């Protein structure tokens, strides 16, 4: 009996330590100027390159979906080990230098104290806010992981996923249908390469060349940018009509048959997710509130053990 009780106590301790270790004031004493240092690194990068916010938001998502938000996405391949960033769907990952610059600034202020995972979470928040989106308090106290494997990028949801595959991918990480729809709204920023939506515009099914849920003239445009045997590696299209502005245009376009990925379109194939798409399309405010709630949830999946000094290498 005593053994069962102590096991139970241990279990409860384990659960609570893995969910409640983050806090908004984590670095208040040890690194009070952390957040302004990160914001200024993001601002500087953004002033030279408008694609930086999208890159940082996607980088944070990839980080959190593999081994938790532990900056595993930032590690470089070493020896025989191929890191996540050299894995197959790394096609749009870029702007790693922004995190390196922020880390350098933070190390100068408070050496060895702040994790790369926290810096990435803050940079993603700044990326959204500086693009005209909402802002929020980022819970902090993540640790950096020591493992990054290219093969694990297979755990990321694919753009060809249907609604049940998306639901499974999100629920495995404690994320709901509402989180799925709200976070898919991240596709209000950025760019997609042809290979990511090729399945919808060429040989869609045995009988149809083009996905019939795509609005016809929108589909023709995509087909002219991305011909069947496209050789231009950089070719592709913006994810919504206002690619550097964080707004709810993504949801409005989705309802007009103008989404880019099958995984976006899939949100209309289930009554619950479809209702959420309508809600976010009709209210910018509802989208922002839901996005903030969901990204805090996603970014609170933790996994690391140490504080790296250089975000590219383990200590
Ligand atoms: C629901 C499952 C998701 C799938 C299947 C998915 C898939 C993709 C794919 C295939 C790309 C384009 C890659 C390329 O061709 O270059 C992309 C881009 C992007 N995704 Fe997602 N994504 C998902 C969820 C998310 C989430 C949760 C976020 C963040 C909240 C996000 C943010 C972005 C951003 C910002 C870009 C543009 C990146 C850039 O332009 O640099 N995505 N996504
Ligand atoms: C993506 O992976 C390839 C090798 O698989 C590598 O050459 C390239 O640098 C990687 N891209 C990024 C942005 O890390
Ligand atoms: C989604 O795809 C999986 C794998 O191909 C399939 O087993 C499942 O039935 C599909 N679900 C829906 C709702 O289409």
Domain regions of the chain by residue span: 23-156, 163-296
Residue 92 has pLDDT above 90, yes or no: no
Ligand nearest the Cα of residue 162 is 3
The Cα 128–Cα 61 span in angstroms is 13
Ligand 3, residue 165: give the atom nearest the CA.
1
Residue 15 has pLDDT above 50, yes or no: no
Ligand 2, residue 96: give the atom nearest the CA.
13
- Give residue-wise pLDDT tens across range 260-293: 999 999 999 999 999 999 999 999 999 999 999 9
Residue 129 has pLDDT above 80, yes or no: yes
SS3 state at 161: coil
The Cα 113–Cα 279 span in angstroms is 41
Ligand 2 residue neighbourhood (C-beta within 6 Å): 85-86, 90, 93-94
**136-161 burial string, b = 16+ CB within 10 Å, else e?**
bebbbbbbbbebbbbebbeebbebeb
Supply 160's token pair: 């060809």
Opening angle at CA 73, ends 174 and 237, nearest 5: 90
The Cα 86–Cα 72 span in angstroms is 12
The Cα 71–Cα 84 span in angstroms is 10
- For residue 111, name the pLDDT band (cuts at 50, 70, 90): very high
Quote the mean pLDDT of the chain. 94
Ligand 1, residue 94: give the atom nearest the CA.
41
Ligand nearest the Cα of residue 262 is 1
Query: Which CATH architecture fits 163-296?
Result: Orthogonal Bundle (1.10)
62 noted as active-site residue? yes
Predicted pLDDT of residue 4: 53
Residue 87 has pLDDT above 50, yes or no: yes
Give the residue ranges of the annotated binding site: 63, 68, 70, 72, 84, 157, 187-188, 240, 243, 247
23-156: CATH topology: Peroxidase; domain 1 (1.10.520)
The Cα 45–Cα 30 span in angstroms is 26
The whole-model pTM stands at 0.93
45, 54, 61, 245: residue to mutate for ligand 1 pocket, most atoms within 8 A of CB = 61
End-to-end CA distance of the chain: 43
- For residue 236, name the pLDDT band (cuts at 50, 70, 90): very high
Residue 250 alpha carbon to ligand 3 centre in Å: 24
């Amino acid at each position: 009996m005593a053994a069962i009780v102590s096991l139970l106590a241990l279990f409860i301790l384990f659960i609570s330590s893995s969910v409640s270790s983050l806090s908004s004031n984590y670095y208040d004493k040890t690194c009070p100027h952390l957040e302004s240092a990160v914001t200024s690194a993001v601002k500087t990068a953004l002033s030279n390159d408008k694609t930086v916010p999208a890159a940082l938001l996607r980088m944070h998502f990839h980080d959190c979906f593999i081994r938790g938000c532990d900056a595993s996405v930032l590690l470089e391949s070493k020896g025989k080990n191929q890191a996540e960033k050299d894995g197959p769907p790394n096609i749009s990952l870029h702007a790693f230098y922004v995190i390196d610059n922020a880390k350098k600034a933070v190390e100068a202020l408070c050496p060895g104290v702040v994790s790369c995972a926290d810096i990435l979470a803050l940079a993603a928040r700044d990326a959204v806010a500086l693009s005209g989106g909402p802002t929020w308090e980022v819970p902090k106290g993540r640790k950096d992981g020591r493992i990054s494997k290219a093969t694990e990028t297979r755990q990321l949801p694919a753009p060809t996923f249907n609604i049940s595959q998306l639901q499974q991918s999100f629920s495995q990480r404690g994320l709901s249908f509402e989180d799925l729809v709200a976070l898919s709204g991240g596709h209000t920023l950025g760019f997609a390469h042809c290979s990511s939506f090729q399945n919808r515009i060429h040989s869609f099914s045995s009988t149809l060349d083009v996905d019939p849920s795509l609005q016809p003239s929108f589909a023709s445009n995509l087909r002219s940018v991305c011909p069947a045997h496209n050789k231009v590696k950089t070719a592709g299209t913006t994810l919504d009509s206002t690619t550097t502005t964080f707004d709810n245009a993504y949801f409005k376009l989705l309802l007009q048959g103008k989404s880019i990925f099958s995984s976006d379109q899939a949100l209309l194939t289930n009554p619950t997710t479809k209702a959420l798409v309508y809600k976010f399309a009709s209210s910018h405010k509802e989208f922002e509130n839901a996005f903030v709630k969901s990204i805090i949830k996603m970014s609170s999946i933790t996994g690391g053990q140490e504080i790296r000094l250089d975000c590219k290498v383990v200590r």
